[in-house]
Amino acid sequence: GSFETDNRSQELNQNLQNIRVYDASFMDFDNDGFLDLLVVGEPNKEGNNGVSLYHNDGTGRFYIVMNILPRDLTSGRQIQTMDYNDDGDTDVLIAGMDGSVRLLRNDGGNNNHYVKMKLVGLRTGSAKNNYYGIGAKVEIRAGNLYQSKVVTEPNVHFGLGPRSKAEVIRILWTNGVPQNIFYPGTDQDLVEEQILKGSCPCRLSPVSRVELFQSLPIVRWMH
């Protein structure tokens, strides 16, 4: 195989030339089923912005989103995404160049439907079991929308756009055993436990506006 430059997003490619990029993260900030792109770094020239959010239109093209992020957020060192308040959309934590931290709450991304699930692996035998299913592959089919993710953290999030439900979720656990969930619930947290034997084979095939982020103060938790 080989890699080639994707020239469909000229705006993205041009804007990234103005940033000394330090971190980037794909996330579906509006739950439309397509991964958007958040980039942070330092601007190369005065007047440029080192933090940019690009919307994926579903055709492989990315367009910069204006007036979404706080205006005073002009640079960043590192990104962490998560739904910290469990309201169904992805929030953002950005570490600044000076060591400061900004927590950005996503307000409105949950206007579209979503599926958020946690995998629970078997806890038998060795204590080294993969409890959160890290490395498992999760596929989802909702109408003409197909998505696939490799599990890298305890929670797996899929945006569905206007689709009110998904037909099926397929989990391929790291031991090679498949597991299917038909007509799962949406707009809620799902917990799926690993079973000893796989369910019936099921192959999913892929088929060929903007909400506000608000800046929140960081709260120090006391124990």
Tens-digit pLDDT profile for residues 87-142: 999 999 999 999 999 999 999 888 999 999 999 998 776 556 789 999 999 999 99
Binning pLDDT at 50, 70 and 90, where does residue 200 land? low
User: What is the rounded distance in angstroms from the CA atom of residue 149 to the CA atom of residue 137?
Assistant: 6
Q: Does residue 136 sit in the same domain as residue 100? A: no
Place of tokens 């600044």: 96
Residue 183 main-chain phi, psi, to 5 deg: 50, 60
User: What is the rounded distance in angstroms from the CA atom of residue 181 to the CA atom of residue 145?
Assistant: 16
CATH number at residue 156: 2.60.40
User: What is the rounded distance in angstroms from the CA atom of residue 217 to the CA atom of residue 78?
Assistant: 18
Q: Does residue 61 sit in the same domain as residue 134? A: no
User: What is the rounded distance in angstroms from the CA atom of residue 199 to the CA atom of residue 37?
Assistant: 35
Instruction: Look at residue 145 in the predicted model and tell me its pLDDT.
Output: 96
Binning pLDDT at 50, 70 and 90, where does residue 216 land? low
Q: Does residue 42 sit in the same domain as residue 121? A: no
99 is a domain residue: yes
128 CB-near residues (< 8 Å, 6+ apart): none
| Number of domain units in the chain | 2
Binning pLDDT at 50, 70 and 90, where does residue 215 land? low
> Taking phi first (over 0 means left), then psi (-120 to 50 degrees means alpha), and beta for anything else, what does residue 125 get?
left
Alpha carbon distances (Å) from 37 to 53, 80, 133, 199, 213: 6, 13, 25, 35, 15
Place of tokens 């204590």: 127
User: What is the rounded distance in angstroms from the CA atom of residue 156 to the CA atom of residue 147?
Assistant: 12
Q: Does residue 84 sit in the same domain as residue 141? A: no
Binning pLDDT at 50, 70 and 90, where does residue 209 land? very low
Alpha carbon distances (Å) from 199 to 51, 85, 153, 174, 176: 44, 33, 24, 15, 12
Average model confidence (pLDDT) across the chain:
86
Q: Hey, is 42 helix, strand or coil?
A: strand
Q: Smallest Cα–Cα separation from 83: which of 24, 149, 157, 25?
A: 157
Q: Does residue 98 sit in the same domain as residue 123? A: no
Residue numbers of the domain that contains 57 = 10-110+209-216
201 is a domain residue: no
Q: Does residue 66 sit in the same domain as residue 86? A: yes
